[in-house]
Structure 1
Amino acid sequence: MPGRLSWRVATVARAGWETPSARTLVLDVPDWPGHLPGQHVDLRLTAADGYSAQRSYSIASSWREGGPVELTVQRVADGEVSSYLTDVMEPGQRFELRGPIGGWFVWRNTPAPVLLVAGGSGLVPLMAIIRARGDVRGRQPFRLVYSVRTPRDALFGAELARRVRDDPGLDVYHAYTREAPEGRPGPPARLGVASLNTHGWPPDFAPDIFVCGPTGFVEAAADILVALGHDPKKIKTERFGGTA
């Protein structure tokens, strides 16, 4: 545990855009101990004059020991750190990393069905869970309900489509809140009772549920799930907000 809470120097090996405002950084991290899907890291940037800024980011990659570690960062308006990571950081550059952190909002390859509910960039730790299931060739029934503003804002679109095709038992539903793809029936709308009732698992399946996104989204989704009859003890939530 002490080693996990020590700062390590991470080097950017590769970087690529997921959407016009979200970028994935693939990091080489010496002596990375591995992680559980759903965990996060603390990241610290230090300027030449000694000024430093620290933020927490969810890990997008699966649980491979030794890395690489992937972080998918959504640029936030006026975000000091997120803007630097998306618009300035390049391969070969370094920063400090501490982790992995967190032991509650994690998936441990249990046989239970899983329902993942994501809002915006809240998909990142849930993508780590989906990738981990793929790595172990899991057969647990998985459903992802992903609320996103427009098709252009959807993270990991091509990979999710491939995994739905190639990973048996994985279903994905996109709920578009501002603009839906051409030809999709119904107008854009916020995630609600009908969407979660139709595209989630029924309560009698007793699924493990992971909800991640902005605070308001997470609270609303969790309340809907409880109202639909899901056991609150089976619902794990992760919220983000504040400085970026």
Structure 2
Amino acid sequence: MREPAVSTDDSFASTASGVGATTWTTGRIITKDFPAPHLVRLRMHVEDRQRHWPGQHYLIRLRAPDDYTAQRSYSVASDDSDPLVEFLVERLPGGEVSEFLADVAEVGDVLELRGPIGRWFRWDTYTPALCLVGGTGVVPAVSMTRAARHHGRADLLRVVAVARTPDDLPYAEELAQAGASIVHTRESSTARPPGALTAAELAPLLEGVELAYVCGSARFAGFAEDLLVESGLDPEAIRVERFGVTG
């Protein structure tokens, strides 16, 4: 990876996590809201917080009185300049962590966290990049968009966000205001008619792009990766993060 010649925050490149190991710490829930019935957004104050790159994630661990633990990975939506760390969690039926965070956890509660984690999927904020994300996989793209804006590098990042309907895309308004391309496959609220994203639509957005980040379900990730290659991007330039139900 190249090192930036100039940074708008000269301490960021040398101190952001991902190079060394992270340790478990705690985070206090400062705000909690529900952007949609199946989504909960948590903003947390993290003790001994390490700086993070957009695209990284945290582990959130729950601990029962008998010391039984359960943990899941959640991408960070906030950028590093935010004093709080923001997570968007999809409440999954039978998901012991997501159901707890949505239904039980309250403002003021303290949870165990470890992070930030992830070298492969992080964006360095100066390499020209495209994010192709689907549904709740939009979260890393939100962090990247916020970081690009904070560092004055919005011209280096392009975002394509895909969802079945407008209601299925979190952060849609924020992304649209940042210039993201919004694609609805079933029902559209934009001038673009509903339908799958095509290589012809994607190819112009890849001009000058050096890296592409894909995040979404396994099905979406496979489709997006194939589409990027079909659109002319070198497979070695694609970073993929898949998510799904954890048993």
Q: Shorter-chain TM-score: what band? A: 0.7 to 0.9
Whether 1:122 aligns to 2:153 is no
**CA spacing shift, 1:85–1:4, aligned 2, 3 Å:** farther
Whether 1:221 aligns to 2:219 is no
Classify the secondary structure of the residue corresponding to 2:80. Answer: coil
1:42 corresponding residue in structure 2: 59
Q: Is the 8 Å Cα contact of residues 206 and 233 (structure 2) preserved in structure 1?
A: no
Among residues 174, 190, 197, which one is paired with 1:191 in the alignment? 197
1:18 corresponding residue in structure 2: 35
1:177 corresponding residue in structure 2: 185
Classify the secondary structure of the residue corresponding to 1:127. Answer: helix
Classify the secondary structure of the residue corresponding to 1:238. Answer: strand
Identical amino acids, percent of aligned pairs:
39
Q: Is the 8 Å Cα contact of residues 192 and 224 (structure 1) preserved in structure 2?
A: yes
Q: Which one-letter code corresponds to 1:237 in the other structure?
A: V
**Alignment partners' CA distance in 1, 2:92 and 2:71:** 15
User: Residue 146 of structure 1: CA displacement?
Assistant: 0.7
Classify the secondary structure of the residue corresponding to 1:140. Answer: helix
Deviations 1:203-229 (A, max 9, x none): xx2432111111121122111111221
User: Residue 63 of structure 1: CA displacement?
Assistant: 1.6
User: Residue 161 of structure 1: CA displacement?
Assistant: 3.5
Q: Which one-letter code corresponds to 2:77 in the other structure?
A: A
User: Residue 4 of structure 1: CA displacement?
Assistant: 4.9
User: Residue 242 of structure 1: CA displacement?
Assistant: 3.2
**Alignment partners' CA distance in 1, 2:144 and 2:24:** 25
TM-score by length of 1: 0.85
2:22 corresponding residue in structure 1: 5
Q: How many aligned positions are there?
A: 230
Among residues 218, 237, 242, which one is paired with 2:240 in the alignment? 237
User: Residue 185 of structure 1: CA displacement?
Assistant: 4.8
**Alignment partners' CA distance in 2, 1:89 and 1:60:** 19
User: Residue 174 of structure 1: CA displacement?
Assistant: 1.6
**Alignment partners' CA distance in 2, 1:88 and 1:190:** 37
Q: Which runs of 5+ in 2 are unaligned?
A: 1-16
**Alignment partners' CA distance in 2, 1:185 and 1:129:** 25
1:167 corresponding residue in structure 2: none
2:7 corresponding residue in structure 1: none
Q: Is the 8 Å Cα contact of residues 214 and 240 (structure 1) preserved in structure 2?
A: yes
**Alignment partners' CA distance in 2, 1:185 and 1:239:** 27
Q: Is the 8 Å Cα contact of residues 35 and 64 (structure 1) preserved in structure 2?
A: no
Deviations 1:45-92 (A, max 9, x none): 112333321111111110238x41111111223222112212322101
**Alignment partners' CA distance in 2, 1:39 and 1:11:** 19
**Alignment partners' CA distance in 2, 1:120 and 1:23:** 14
Q: Which runs of 5+ in 1 are unaligned?
A: 165-170
Whether 1:99 aligns to 2:107 is no
Runs of 4+ in structure 1 over 6 Å off: none
**Alignment partners' CA distance in 1, 2:48 and 2:20:** 10
**Alignment partners' CA distance in 2, 1:217 and 1:139:** 25
